[in-house]
Amino acid sequence: MASNVELFLDMMAAEKGAAINTIEAYRRDLVQFCDFIRKDEQTAESTDINNFVADLGSRSLSPKTIARKLSAVREFYKFLYIEKKIQENPAANILSPRQEKPLPKFLTQAEIKSLVEAVVEKKDFSEHRLSAMLKLMYACGLRVSELVNLPENCINYDMKQIIVFGKGSKERKIPVAESALREVAEYATYRDIYLNGQKSPWLFPSKNAKSGHITRDAFFKNLKKLAVKAGISPARISPHVLRHSFATHLLNHHVDLRSVQKMLGHEDITTTEIYTHIVSEKLREEVRKNHPLAQKNN
């Protein structure tokens, strides 16, 4: 007769279509759990599961790894409960260990400059478009979905600002740096040539996309290629990294948090506050390097 663990794994494969690697990971985690409790798994209690989690923590495993193992145990006991092999689910109210949110990745100002300079030749329309998108995204901290969906008339050149419709179609106005405005104005000429008399409601049109504008994926791939040209690892580049860089650089130049929050379109300021951790780390590094007491000769 198959064990409960094997029955559970068969269900995961047949009903949920779990991949082989996922099945094997579940198997390892559940065998580890069963070896730990040293009793029939159908008689396990919540204290057994809590003790298992505590034991994992004592082994210096990361919260992410512990959470993965606990997830396997949860799914297993949910299966046993649904199959009526147990009357109560001992894993139902077990909390996962708190996982620290990773700090946002960002580029240095020198790296942003390298990216901008890497597309300076602009031999064709796509390079003019990429240059304008790059500068506008970094200048305004736009989400990539906002960037590719920008309408043609989104920029007020007199007020030097852009109107963006973010999550929930909420409007926000963001000031735009002069250099980005000049880039977009120059790009507009090449946009007209590209459209060849045709009309498009989009600031960044594409004749190849069903939507009529450049896609997120196309912009992402163009950024990767540009990173290689700029001598930056493409693994470090994404549209969201540009958004993170915008926020981090503003805070490093003492722009207040509330202003950054409004420009990013964050509902809750705690979402924006994560960037202050980056600034704090930068400050600590500067103190370590430059404080008089840190000098070796003192």
Active-site amino acid positions? 143, 167, 240, 243, 266, 275
Note whether residue 95 is domain-resident: no
CB 36 within 8 A of CB 59: no
Give the whole-angstrom CA distance, residue 50 versus residue 102.
26
Note whether residue 54 is domain-resident: yes
SS3 173: strand
Note whether residue 91 is domain-resident: no
Q: What is the pLDDT of residues 6-17, one digit of tens each?
A: 999 999 999 888
- Report the half-sphere exposure of 116 (CA within 13 A, side-chain side): 17
pTM above 0.75, yes or no: no
Note whether residue 100 is domain-resident: no
Q: What is the pLDDT of residues 131-156, one digit of tens each?
A: 999 999 999 999 999 999 999 999 99
Tell me, yes or no, whether 64 and 172 share the same domain: no
| Structure tokens given for 172 | 């926000």
Tell me, yes or no, whether 147 and 284 share the same domain: yes
Tell me, yes or no, whether 134 and 264 share the same domain: yes
Tell me, yes or no, whether 163 and 257 share the same domain: yes
pLDDT class of 1 with cuts at 50, 70, 90 = very low
Note whether residue 120 is domain-resident: yes
Tell me, yes or no, whether 131 and 269 share the same domain: yes
Q: Please state the rounded mean pLDDT for residues 159-166.
A: 94
Q: What percent of the chain has pLDDT over 70?
A: 90
Q: What percent of the chain has pLDDT over 90?
A: 71
What torsion do the CA atoms of 79, 82, 84, 86 make, to the nearest 10 degrees? 50
Note whether residue 131 is domain-resident: yes
Domain boundary among 42, 63, 82: 82
Q: What is the pLDDT of residues 214-251, one digit of tens each?
A: 999 999 999 999 999 999 999 999 999 999 999 999 98
Of 8-17, 18-27, 214-223, 272-281, the range with the highest mean pLDDT is 214-223
Domain boundary among 36, 66, 82: 82
pLDDT class of 94 with cuts at 50, 70, 90 = confident
Q: Please state the rounded mean pLDDT for residues 169-178.
A: 93
**Tally of structural domains, the chain:** 2
Domain boundary among 42, 65, 82: 82
Domain range for 24 is: 4-82
Q: Please state the rounded mean pLDDT for residues 76-95.
A: 93
Note whether residue 22 is domain-resident: yes
The CATH number covering residue 23 comes to 1.10.150.130
